[in-house]
Amino acid sequence: MLPIHEQFYTFQGEGAHAGRAAYFIRTFGCPVHCPWCDSAGTWHPDYIPAKIERIAVDSLVAEVASTKAEFVVVTGGEPAIHNLAPLVDALHGIGRAVHLETSGAFVIKGDFDWITLSPKRWKWPLAENIAQADEFKIIVDRDGAIAEYAEVIGDTAQPVWLHPEWSQHGDAATLDAITKWVKTHGAPYRAGWQMHKHYAADLKDARSAPPAPLGGDLNKGF
């Protein structure tokens, strides 16, 4: 049984697998507490739903099996605070690849096919998780953020996506900082975007929780 905030069928809107059909499983709970979190319903007392379901692995796998999802994305909150190995094994059993989206701050339990690590300054990632990441996602939320996180990640051959924090996705200075960094440094840095938000793709599945605007602006979509 896992505490599940939401599960829904959509497409991956970010990173190397953007545009591919994906089933998202968002676990409940997160000790990292980013002040601009776009899934604040997984941890923030102002937005936690009245009831959190604990769902059996078999039930989650059955939902995935009913779709054409090419892979499953396990995210949060911070999914790595849970033992995800039984879920990963069961999803592999029906022939589905399993991706993890994590801050990297906790030991990862489960044999994932792809790991997206998004470091957060409130709780730095473990070195072992940095070493096994397939891609990185830096959230550019303030001046100097790219250099700060680049130092933590260190030298890597894996893609490092630079995403504007969503409340700043129209801010010229933030976008210019990303553009300049990519042009100055080249690989492995890439400009990133949350494509699914423009499509409102996640919200097409009624099981997707409504946005919880932690510290943000409803008009900006977070």
* Confidence class for position 222, pLDDT limits 50, 70, 90: very low
Tell me how long the chain is: 222
pLDDT (0 to 100) of residue 214: 66
The class (CATH top level) of 2-136+196-220 is: alpha beta
Q: Give the lowest-confidence range in 15-24, 29-38, 107-116.
A: 29-38
Q: In Å, how far are 35, 65, 219 from 200, measured between CA atoms?
A: 23, 23, 14
For 132-145, the pLDDT digits (tens) are: 999 999 999 999 99
Q: If you average pLDDT over residues 32-50, what whole number do you get?
A: 90
At residue 218 the predicted structure's pLDDT band, cuts being 50, 70 and 90, is very low
142-152: burial string, b at 16+ Cβ within 10 Å, e else: eeebbeebbeb
Q: Which of 141, 198, 151 is nearest to 173 (CA)?
A: 141
Q: Taking the CB of residue 186, how many other CB atoms lie within 10 A of it?
A: 9
Residue 219: pLDDT over 80: no
Report the pLDDT averaged over residues 18-43.
Answer: 94
pTM over 0.85: yes
Structure tokens of 27? 């676990």
pLDDT of residue 212: 74
Task: Please determine, for residue 215, whether its predicted confidence score (pLDDT) is greater than 70.
Answer: no
Higher pLDDT, 159 or 211: 159
